[in-house]
Amino acid sequence: MDKFETVEGVAAPMPLINIDTDMIIPKQFLKTIKRSGLGVHAFAEMRYHEDGTENPDFILNQAGYRNTKIIVAGDNFGCGSSREHAPWAIGDLGIKVIISTSFADIFYGNCFKNGILPIKLPQDKIDLLMDDARRGANATMTVDLVNQEIKGPDGGVIKFEIDAFKKHCLLEGLDDIGLTMEKEKSIDNFEQKMAEATPWI
């Protein structure tokens, strides 16, 4: 995984609550056996008309939002299924950061495994950022993970919290499996213990 670096770019407002994984990547695009190439299908049912042409109402189709790197979203972003195709599609679209009051648990975890930073903030901060995001290309934001802060277009700074281990893994681009395998001895010991305690498993 690539190391996560400071992101500077356009933020798009998506105030709708409960943007679910079926909206992020409809199931007809889950039939892939690859991780890449899903960006063109991200948000497909909001983004395209039935005939495949772009729907100009959808924020990412509007001038000024073509190069969005940050999404400011309504509550409970990413609810629904466990499909990792959701962060794959969003990441493939060039989005690096999603900011909301809350995320669905599985989606939240999936983001970190794909180099995307989900940031949780209280409603009043989201309202500020949502207003900034509505100003399009004139109002870029900077997300600095090292210092855990978001710089708004007018110089305001908002701090955010994040789990130290997750931050470390994102910044270093670390592979979870490799890290776990270093603890193989503990897993071996555990299996031995369980074989005696619950042999039917």
Binding interface with other proteins (CB under 8 A) = 15-18, 20, 22-23, 26-28, 30-35, 45, 50, 74-76, 79-84, 87, 102-106, 109-110, 113-114, 163-165, 176-177, 180-181, 183-184, 186-187, 189-191, 194, 198-201
What is the distance between the alpha carbons of residues 16 and 43, in angstroms, rounded to a whole number?
13
Closer to other proteins by Cβ: residue 9 or 129: 129
Q: Which is nearer to other proteins, 157 or 188 (CB)?
A: 188
Shortest CB 45 distance to other proteins, Å: 5
Which amino acid would we find at residue 190?
A: F
Instruction: Count CA atoms closer than 13 A to 14's CA, side-chain side.
Output: 30
Q: Taking a C-beta distance cutoff of 8 angstroms, is the pair 14, 73 a contact?
A: yes
Taking the least distance from each CB to other proteins, the nearer of 149 and 175 is 175
Q: Is 174 exposed, middle or buried (0-12, 13-18, 19+ CB in 10 A)?
A: middle
CB of 63 or CB of 177, closer to other proteins: 177
